[in-house]
Amino acid sequence: MMTWVLYLLECKNGAYYAGITNNLESRFEAHVAGKGARYTRANPPVKVLASKAYVDRSAASVAEAQLKSLPRNQKLRYFDEGYSHESA
């Protein structure tokens, strides 16, 4: 069974970038090589700040939408065990 991962990157400009993938190492390499999303081609990532596994793509997509709706200062906390978007 394939696991999907929600990830949060820090870019050279200091911004955060969130996405989902089923191969985090390969996806990060693609972002660094300029072959990822348009945003990371213009603002290359410097590191993976956090990641969290999900059972399927659907669950990861829902989590990605929740993460992207949060203010910047709450994004890293989203990856903490027990964090609930509803309680934010």
* All domains of the chain in start order, with CATH: 4-87 (3.40.1440)
Q: Is the pLDDT of residue 22 over 60?
A: yes
Give me the pLDDT at residue 87, please: 42
Q: What is the pLDDT of residues 1-15, one digit of tens each?
A: 679 999 999 999 999
> Is the alpha carbon torsion for 76, 79, 81, 84 positive or negative?
positive
Arithmetic mean of pLDDT, 15-35? 97
Q: What is the pLDDT of residues 35-70, one digit of tens each?
A: 989 999 999 999 999 999 999 999 999 999 999 999
Strands (E), 12-79: 16-21, 45-54
d(CA 23, CA 11): 19
Give me the pLDDT at residue 36, please: 87
Listed residue (27, 21, 18) closest to 5, CA to CA: 21
